[in-house]
RNA sequence: GGAGAGAUGGCCGAGUGGUCUAAGGCGCACGCCUGGAGAGCGUGUAUACGCCAAAAGCGUAUCAUGGGUUCGAAUCCCAUUCUCUCCGCCA
């Protein structure tokens, strides 16, 4: 959520920057500013009225104590009108505030100045490309053939017991999942992140805090009987740990890492995009989250992209880093780098990580503040990134490291899998 | 799921209708004292919104949350949430 003060002082800037995300903000911003003026007026009136009432009540109290009940009772008469008026004013104030809030949450975060203005994924800016891409002529199989050949995943069993998009990992496939999770967590811990095990269901306030609500309602699974959402990413519980928290300077930066299963409804997807492991309703992910002071958040973003880069090198996968264009960015993000692994069997790039700086957009929603050296409080910056999402990493490993007799496990992962080759 | 107890400032904790502008303590900051430190003494120590060009200052709200009673609520009433104890169920 953008800060009201900032909008009030920079309405044109807000509208202009949001155009990069292809969001027409002018009308909303105008309405918000009008409501804001009305709010301050109403609040002033109410405050003055309450001050009068308070003074009056004190006077009455004194009269009663000194035994002048007749005078006190007379004064009491004059309070009824004030009371009614202040009741009406505070109702109006509540309505205006609700109105402002409802409109404020519709505005996406401002994109960073480096964000390209494009509309679609093709407009994303390719920053770096690492590793050698396997050529189309190498006759590589797509991963869904390999998972069947080596009995790593049973998609049909998942369909039977739950539905499409809920795979069952078996044998070496299951072991590979566990190996990757442990590998990713260990690497993050080595890099200074604190390990967290969060709940997989969150309440409405948490889903709102990180920006899934109201923007992405319908993409989350809802346990309706208890009004709890299944998390689409560990970002939600882990960042919300700090909702309504006032951090000390010495607490920063906070670096947390969490593995979780992730649940996404992903309505309306079809075709090759969802084939095999490309898109699932339930998947595993290790997520890193940082909370920093504003002046250092872009250093943290660099640190996080460097971490993800290191992981992909250790897995010996060809990948590229892209800076998302305005049209492809998420609602809450100010700057996002996607990491895409080239899947040789499909001859296409698969997004395996998304690393974002949300600046104070999330912290404003969840009142995540810190106290600086001078003792002043301000909103902290929040960042997160996948490090990494498993399914497409598995797809990349299978498709790129396949050979005639099996699939080679990269060196760094062997201590975790306990085997160096996946064999039939 | 049932019964009971509870929720007060950064922390502990007093406070059962008006002197609460929340006692007292701890912590923290600054000052005095000291060769230095400690002890001691003194002062200060929440958040949000508003008024003001700004600071100072002032006003309003906040004693878990939301409603209510009252001229006036931390205090009384109702609902909700959470914590603890006991019982039930349970991996």
ipTM of this complex: 0.85
**Fold of the A121-422 domain:** BirA Bifunctional Protein; domain 2 (3.30.930)
- pLDDT at residue number A223: 84
Residue A409 predicted with pLDDT over 80: yes
Nucleotide nearest to A369 (CA to C1'): B47
Report the distance from CA of residue A288 to the C1' of nucleotide B33 in Å, as an integer: 52
The token pair at A89 is: 């004013």
User: CA(A230)–C1'(B44) in Å?
Assistant: 48
Which pair of tokens denotes residue A284? Answer: 């595993």
Region(s) of chain A under CATH 3.30.930.10: 121-422
Dump pLDDT digits (tens) for A118-166: 999 999 999 999 999 888 778 888 999 999 999 999 999 999 998 889 9
Half-sphere exposure of A299 (CA within 13 A, CB side): 8
Residue limits of CATH 1.10.287.40 in chain A: 4-104
Domain A4-104 sits in CATH 1.20.120.1200: no
More confident residue, A379 or A337: A337
What gap in Å lies between CA A43 and CA A292, rounded to an integer?
34
Rounded-to-integer distance, Cα A61 and Cα A176, Å: 75
pTM for the full predicted model: 0.90
CB within 7 A of nucleic chain B: A 5, 40, 43-44, 46-48, 50-51, 53-58, 60-61, 64-65, 76, 79-80, 83, 246, 369, 371, 375, 377
pLDDT tens-digit map of A12-36 = 999 999 999 999 999 999 999 999 9
Backbone angles phi, psi at A112, to 5 degrees: -60, 155
The spacing between the Cα labelled CA in A293 and the C1' in B7, in angstroms, equals 32
Report the alpha-carbon distance of residue A16 to residue A29 in Å, rounded. 11
Q: How far is CA A418 from the centre of its chain?
A: 34
Distance CA A176, CA A390 (A): 10
Nucleotides of B under 7 A from a protein CB: 18-19, 47-51, 59-61, 71-72
Query: CA at A93, C1' at B77: how many angstroms apart?
Result: 26
> How many angstroms separate the CA atoms of A141 and A54, rounded?
78
């Amino acid at each position: 959520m953008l800060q009201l003060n900032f909008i009030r002082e920079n309405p044109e800037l807000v509208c202009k920057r949001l155009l990069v995300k292809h969001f027409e903000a002018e009308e909303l911003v105008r309405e918000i500013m009008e409501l804001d003026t009305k709010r301050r007026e109403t609040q002033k009136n109410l405050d003055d009225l309450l001050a009068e009432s308070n003074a009056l009540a004190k006077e009455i109290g004194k009269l009663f104590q000194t035994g002048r009940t007749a005078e006190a009772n007379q004064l009491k008469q004059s309070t009824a009108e004030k009371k009614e008026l202040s009741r009406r004013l505070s109702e109006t104030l509540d309505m205006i505030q609700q109105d402002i809030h409802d409109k404020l949450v519709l505005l996406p975060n401002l994109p960073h100045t480096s964000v390209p203005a494009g509309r679609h994924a093709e407009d994303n800016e390719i920053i770096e490309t690492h590793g050698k891409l396997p050529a189309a002529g190498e006759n590589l199989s797509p991963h869904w053939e390999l998972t069947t050949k080596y009995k790593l995943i049973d998609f049909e069993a998942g369909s039977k017991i739950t539905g499409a998009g809920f795979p069952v990992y078996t044998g070496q496939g299951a072991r590979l999942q566990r190996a990757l999770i442990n590998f990713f967590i260990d690497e993050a811990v080595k890099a200074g992140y604190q390990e967290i095990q969060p709940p997989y269901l969150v309440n409405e306030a948490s889903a709102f805090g990180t920006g899934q609500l109201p923007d992405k309602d319908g993409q989350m699974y809802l346990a309706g009987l208890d009004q709890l959402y299944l998390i689409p990413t560990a970002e939600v519980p882990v960042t919300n740990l700090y909702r309504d928290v006032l951090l000390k300077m010495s607490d920063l930066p906070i670096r947390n890492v969490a593995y979780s299963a992730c649940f996404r409804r992903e309505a309306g997807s079809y075709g090759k995009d969802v084939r095999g492991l490309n898109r699932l309703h339930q998947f595993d992910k290790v997520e890193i989250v940082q909370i920093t002071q504003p002046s250092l958040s872009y250093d943290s973003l660099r640190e996080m992209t460097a971490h993800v880069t290191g992981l992909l090198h250790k897995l010996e996968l060809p990948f590229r880093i892209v800076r998302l264009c305005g049209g492809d960015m998420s609602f809450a993000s100010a700057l996002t780098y996607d990491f895409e692994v080239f899947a040789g069997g499909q001859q296409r790039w698969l997004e395996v990580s998304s690393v974002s700086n949300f600046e104070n957009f999330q912290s404003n929603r969840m009142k995540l503040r810190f106290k600086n050296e001078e003792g002043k409080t301000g909103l902290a910056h929040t960042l997160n990134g996948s490090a990494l999402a498993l399914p497409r990493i598995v797809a990349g490993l299978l498709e790129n490291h396949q050979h005639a007799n099996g699939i080679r496990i990269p060196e760094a992962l062997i201590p975790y899998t306990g085997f160096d080759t996946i064999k039939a």
